[in-house]
Amino acid sequence: MKMFVTGVGGRILLAVTLLFCSANPAHSQSSASSTSSDSSSFHSSVTWYTWFERIPEDWSEWGTVSFRSDQVNTWVGVGISTAVLFAADDAIYSPSQRLYETSPTAKRWADIFAAVGDGRTQFALAGAYAAYGLLWKDGKAFGTGSEIVEAVLASGGVVQVLKHVTGRESPYVRSKPTGRWSFFPNQVDYHRYVPYFDAFPSGHICTSIATVIVIAENYPGVSWARPVGYAVTTLVGIGMGTNGIHWYSDYPLGLFIGYTFGMVAAHPEWYAEGKSGGAGEMELSVLPTYSVERGTGISFSVRF
């Protein structure tokens, strides 16, 4: 399984990198947007360790952006969607578990999709961009690779803190229908029995969406970047929901954290100039629904 993901996935990553870089080359004199133009000066000064230097600033900027007064509706949306999905977690996971255990094909693809979000794909993609940037002297590509690493590690730090605080069981080891929560668990137990404590929020979803946002923001002229990226992130979520790594209610907060860190990493000029630039403007809507066939219910949508 891992060999399949590494071999085929590696060739796909290289092809995607070449497509993006050739679609918006660094030596082009035109700019798709003023934001892209502003970012170019930062890309020209990026070094191999820039991602490390910027992580503390990312955490500070993320806190500023995420807890502004205009983010109240977003947090309400995250909270409500998490609560709605939490109520449905057992009903969603139980049939998924049966499918995973009885269908070799479902098991295979669920594991493949889940593996896409575990960090290896993101770092491989970052490496592909950095390598392209070095070989073809493309500052934008090199900067994109650096920003992917930056976004993944910075967002991962926040996710790990929350995991160590909430201590939620993963579905495949659950002792209760929706998993036990052990707030502020014993850290020795946490590291000995990680799946019993690290479900919430989802780091896989967080790193997946953060990577998509970094790439899409750096290459705004590639119109299919977001649709394809969102589709891949959705498949990652379905894969983890099927193989029992995560509950669906682990996703809304992971999406918000990853999206915001992706925006912050892709736009270092914002915090360098003391501006937030609109980072983190993700909208979640929760609405009551009614249909003759299904009766009343709740629907929610996410807009990036």
Please state the domain extents for the chain: 2-23+39-303
* pLDDT tens column, 233-275: 999 999 999 999 999 999 999 999 999 999 999 998 765 554 5
* Rounded Cα distance, 167 and 245, in Å: 14
* Average pLDDT of the residues in 205-221: 96
DSSP, res 32: S
Average pLDDT over residues 282-286: 50
* pLDDT score of 89: 97
pLDDT tens figures, 38-82: 445 556 677 878 889 999 999 999 999 899 898 999 999 999 999
Within 10 Å of residue 180's Cβ, how many Cβ atoms? 14
User: Using CA atoms, how far apart are residues 45 and 63, in angstroms rounded to an integer?
Assistant: 25
Instruction: Output the six-digit token pair for 72.
Output: 């109240």
- Report residue 35's pLDDT band, with 50, 70 and 90 as the boundaries: very low
Nearest Cα neighbor of 133 from 17, 265, 268, 213 is: 17
**pLDDT top residue among 132 and 303:** 132
Give percent of the chain with pLDDT exceeding 90.
68
pLDDT at 49: 82
The residues near 116 (Cβ < 8 Å, ≥ 6 apart) are 5, 9, 208, 232, 235, 236, 239
Predicted local confidence at residue 79, as pLDDT: 97
The alpha carbon torsion through 6, 9, 15, 16 (nearest 10 deg) reads -130
- Indicate the pLDDT class of residue 155, thresholds 50, 70 and 90: very high
- Residue 110's closest CA among 123, 97, 127? 97
Q: Give per-residue pLDDT as tens, 161-206.
A: 999 999 999 999 999 999 999 999 999 999 999 999 999 999 999 9
Mean pLDDT, residues 134-160: 95
246, 163 contact by CB (below 8 A): no
**pLDDT computed for residue 24 by the predictor:** 53
pLDDT of amino acid 269: 73
Interatomic CA distance for residues 241 and 163, integer angstroms: 17
* Per-residue pLDDT tens over the stretch 106-122: 999 999 999 999 999 99
Q: How confident is the model at residue 1 (pLDDT cuts 50, 70, 90)?
A: very low
CA angle, residues 244, 95, 98, in degrees to nearest 5: 70
Q: What integer is the mean pLDDT of 213-232?
A: 95
The confidence score (pLDDT) of residue 46 equals 78
